[in-house]
Amino acid sequence: MSDSERKTEPVSKRRRNFLIGSAMTGVVPVIGWAGQAQATTQAAPVDARAALNVALRVNGRLHQVQVDARMTLLDALREEIGLTGAKKGCDHGQCGACTVLVDGRRELACLTLAVAAQGREVVTIEGLAAPDGTLHPMQEAFVAQDAFQCGYCTPGQILSAISCVHEGHATSPDQVREYMSGNLCRCAAYPNIVAAVLQASQQMGD
Amino acid sequence: MRPFQYLQPATLADVIVAQREAPSAVPATFLAGGTTLIDLMKLGVMQPERVVDLRLAGSDFAQIRFDGATLRLGAFARMAEVADHPVVAASFPVIAQSLSLAASPQLRNMATLGGNVLQRTRCAYFRDPTWAACNKRTPGSGCAAVDGANRQHAVLGTSSQCIATYHGDFAQALMALDASVVLGGPAGTRTIPFAALHRLPGNTPHVETTLHPGEIILDFVIPAGPWASRSLYLKIRDRQSYEYAVASAAVAVAMNGDVVADARIALGGLAAVPWRAHEAEAILRDAVLDEATATRAAEASFAAAVPQSHNAFKIALGRDTLVRALLQAASMEVRHD
Ligand SMILES: Cc1cc2nc3c(=O)[nH]c(=O)nc-3n(C[C@H](O)[C@H](O)[C@H](O)COP(=O)(O)OP(=O)(O)OC[C@H]3O[C@@H](n4cnc5c(N)ncnc54)[C@H](O)[C@@H]3O)c2cc1C
Ligand code: SF4
Ligand code: FES
Ligand code: FES
């Protein structure tokens, strides 16, 4: 295991044990259906609740977690890995609070299965600042423009905003409003968020 | 969410071969972007026992290719990639607009074209299993929307068994442009008109498509007819962005001076399935495209509309949406017609 890899103790270990305890043994083939198809049909019943060993690369580190196939990336980040920056607003793809970068693009962790995020590169709000604590220009801009009140939507807003700039969709206030519309803010900090995105887009040089 | 078995085959050949060689009593449900499926699994509306993740296997069918005559869009291309593709935006504006006006940037990064056309209705009774009556979710149980809150429901193509709206935007562009769809499954590949993919609700609203069990959408094939470049998608919503259509129109028009040589029209947010407005097209053909003609065409497309208790406004709104879309198309600057 390299320096950047570490085994993560599940945060919700007790509940996990219960799930494992109630599961029968069964092998769930994850890659290579053709080769495994026979085993899958014969070794019935495969218990769908059996915990899966999943390796998630988050903010450059590899985390080994045991998850139920039903667990979303959002729950794995928050409850298993202990990164609570990504927030759960609606849990149904409607608010953007759970926005993270996956392979460099903004996606919703609440509609992504943790097991399906294997082999992909996830970045959360915790992964933005430099090791010495220097904030990302978008974080700086949110502070400078006072672009939040309660802060609940802010991690999702910031990751979405970084993508918005990288996509080339932060060239005017109208365009920022349209391309940030996937992130709702109950405190209605919208005017300041638009200002922050435009400020950071100049500093980010895209 | 119900427990399920998760599989991630490496190639589509693996998926298809495995289905042919080891047919299982448990049918597989495919996972693409997951933005419909995971949402509905959390709600308990979809309860697959076996989820087959096509992210790796589908990557061979994620390309965007245009040879001057035909646009081929891989079913596993993401909505955002297609919406932002310069050739699509220039030569098939109705496609780019239908995609970029849908959902949110995050959802468009995740969602695939194939999953998009197969999205399920947003009927609130369908999405909430605590409502017993929903023929689409539980065949034979009745329809809670007929006597319920049905402002968002359809006025075209409904039946007494189901009045749900098909909400997708991209499908309307495919309808208007006469697209076909390439399917692959255990019995081989076949190509059908996109218009033959969705089924009217009739007495079986739970059977939404003509896909065979285990069949996968591979490609959308769109001919570059003379109408494709003069095309647009007009979407009317309850809020400015990140919202489904209350009414929308996909129009593609080939002009000969002021006269319509050919017109292709589909209507969204108004019908039970992706909806082609053939009646309106017939009125426009060989006519001068002005407000009077556009209004006659729009009226014809709603002649058979059936309003529900809360959505009669959709007939007038749909008409006005189509008129505006047609007049905008007529005034578009297009290089060659
Ligand atoms: C908050 C919100 C707002 C939205 N707003 C809009 C909107 O304004 N306009 C709009 O058009 N859509 C909207 N959508 C719907 C969204 O576009 C769809 O959920 C998405 O396109 C589905 O694609 P997917 O790849 O995520 O599909 P999945 O969820 O992975 O799959 C959907 C279904 O299709 C099947 N499937 C997927 N791919 C294939 C294939 N290649 N072959 C066979 N079967 C397949 C799956 O088994 C599943 O049953 C919205 C969704 C949300 C959550
Ligand atoms: S309209 Fe269709 S989906 Fe909605 S409750 Fe009635 S049967 Fe179900
Ligand atoms: S929590 Fe994921 S979009 Fe709301
Ligand atoms: S700052 Fe409170 S929700 Fe956005």
**pLDDT digits over B227-270, tens only?**
999 999 999 999 999 999 999 999 999 999 999 999 999 999 99
Distance of alpha carbon B266 from alpha carbon B245, whole angstroms: 13
C-alpha dihedral, B22 to B27 to B31 to B34, nearest 10°:
-170
B121's tokens: 């209705």
pLDDT of residue A23: 27
pLDDT of residue A114: 98
pLDDT for B114 beyond 70: yes
pLDDT of residue A49: 77
Architecture per CATH, B62-118+166-330:
2-Layer Sandwich (3.30)
* pLDDT tens digits, A142-174: 999 999 999 999 999 999 999 999 999 999 999
Residues A13 and A97 in one domain: no
In this structure, the residue with its CA closest to atom 3 of ligand 3 is A93
Residues A98 and A155 in one domain: yes
- ipTM higher than 0.85? yes
Residues A8 and A97 in one domain: no
Taking residues B43-63, what's their average pLDDT? Answer: 95
pLDDT of residue B27: 74
pLDDT of residue B23: 55
pLDDT for A42 beyond 60: no
pLDDT of residue B24: 62
Distance from CA of A134 to the nearest CA of B (A): 27
Residues A103 and A28 in one domain: no
Domain count for chain A, please give it: 2
Residues A92 and A173 in one domain: yes
For the beta carbon of residue B67, count every other beta carbon within 10 angstroms.
Answer: 8
pLDDT for A80 beyond 70: yes
Q: Does A66 touch chain B (CB under 8 A)?
A: no
Taking residues B122-140, what's their average pLDDT? Answer: 98
Express as a percent the part of chain A with pLDDT over 90.
75
User: Closest-lying ligand to the alpha carbon of A88?
Assistant: 3
Choosing among 3.30.360.10, 3.30.43.10, 1.10.490.10, 2.30.30.280, the CATH entry for B5-57 is: 3.30.43.10
pLDDT for A40 beyond 70: no
Return the DSSP state at A78.
I
CATH code: domain of residue A193: 1.10.150.120
pLDDT band at A1 (very low <50, low <70, confident <90, very high): very low
* pLDDT tens digits, B1-38: 999 999 999 998 888 766 666 556 667 899 999 999 99
A116 and B103 in contact by Cβ < 8 A?
A: no
pLDDT of residue A96: 98
* pLDDT tens digits, B287-327: 999 999 999 999 999 999 999 999 999 999 999 999 999 99
Cα B6 to ligand 4 centre (Å): 36
The model's pTM is 0.92
Nearest chain A residue (CA) to B25: A41
Cα A15 to ligand 2 centre (Å): 37
Interface test with A, best of B21, B104, B110 (most A CBs within 10 A): B104
CB B135 within 8 A of CB B146: no
* pLDDT tens digits, B56-77: 999 999 999 999 999 999 999 9
Q: Does A182 touch chain B (CB under 8 A)?
A: yes
Which stretch of DSSP H or E encloses residue B16? helix B12-21
Q: Which of A78, A87, A95 to mutate to test the pocket of ligand 3 (most atoms within 8 A of CB)?
A: A95
Q: What is the residue range of A20's domain?
A: 3-42
Residues A178 and A101 in one domain: yes
In this structure, the residue with its CA closest to atom 2 of ligand 2 is B162
Residue A60, domain member (yes or no): no
Residues A94 and A153 in one domain: yes
Residue A49, domain member (yes or no): no
Indicate the residue type of B212. H
Residues A94 and A187 in one domain: yes
Residues A138 and A200 in one domain: yes
CB B267 within 8 A of CB B98: no
pLDDT for B166 beyond 50: yes
Q: Where are the alpha helices (DSSP H) in chain A?
A: 13-22, 33-42, 73-75, 137-144, 154-166, 173-179, 190-204
Nearest chain B residue (CA) to A178: B241
Domain ranges of chain B: 5-57, 62-118+166-330
